[in-house]
Amino acid sequence: MNELVRLTEVTKVYQEGVTGALNGVTVSMEEGEFTAVMGPSGSGKSTLLNLVAGLDRPTAGSVVVADTDLGRLGESRLARFRRDRVGVIFQFFHLLPNLTVLENVLIPAQLASRAHARSRARELLARLGIAEVADRYPARLSGGQQQRAAIARALINRPTLLLADEPTGALDTRSGEQVMELLEELHGDGQTILLVTHDAKLATRHTARVISLIDGRVADDARLETGDRRPAEMIRIRSEARTK
């Protein structure tokens, strides 16, 4: 597999010592990987995502995504990188309230023709199970539907990398689970995904790689196994020796 993202000795310092900074982070991700970044609040996980998305620049070190060193790009080329290469979804969806779902999805669309863009948008909405709300305004949608609309918008330009910052944080358990299942399906189709979450149950359920950040440093980078163990190897209600 090819390397898609590489952070080398990345440091991000905020003025006034705000938390969430990064301190010498070196980490890479391969094409097609579904990686979770975990850590307590203020550990730097959203900062890391913003740097990979080209939404922010490091104070030191380099961020390379799809062979492009983001630090070397000027503002306009960085904006083009964001539009063409990455799709981002956030905890609170960030849909524009005065546009319909379909119009929201079309915002980043830079496809050859408008008709082509609309057909791709409708196709995505159908695939994400929200075709019927295409002409509604976000306020009339449930949280789960709004997040799916945001996913459609993130995917409209077929991004190399999908970034998800606490995508289930504002959803009830069931809608959150559905959104995660969607992400897993997209991953199954080859989409590279970087997920930021503080929910370990969710991360380990859907991803096989978990990077843990603590105080802006990588505390652990775990590649988990996906084996079918016997129940008795996973849960021991009481050992035989102690049973009376």
Question: Using CB under 8 A as the criterion, which residues of the chain lie in contact with another protein when the complex forms?
Answer: 40, 200-201, 203-205, 208, 210, 212, 214-215, 217, 219-220, 222, 224-232, 234-238, 240, 243-244
- Which residue lies nearer to another protein by CB, 147 or 212? 212
Least distance in Å: CB of 39 to another protein? 8
Least distance in Å: CB of 42 to another protein? 10
| CB neighbour class for 163 (10 Å; exposed up to 12, middle 13-18, buried from 19) | buried
Instruction: In whole angstroms, give the CA distance from residue 88 to residue 27.
Output: 20
* φ and ψ of 236, to 5 deg: -120, 110
- Which residue lies nearer to another protein by CB, 146 or 212? 212
Instruction: In whole angstroms, give the CA distance from residue 173 to residue 114.
Output: 37
* φ and ψ of 211, to 5 deg: -100, 125
Least distance in Å: CB of 35 to another protein? 13
* φ and ψ of 209, to 5 deg: -130, 125
- Which residue lies nearer to another protein by CB, 2 or 243? 243
Please give the helix or strand (H or E) that residue 61 lies within, else none.
Answer: strand 60-65
Least distance in Å: CB of 99 to another protein? 37
Instruction: In whole angstroms, give the CA distance from residue 20 to residue 193.
Output: 21
- Which residue lies nearer to another protein by CB, 42 or 143? 42
- Which residue lies nearer to another protein by CB, 10 or 64? 10
Least distance in Å: CB of 199 to another protein? 9
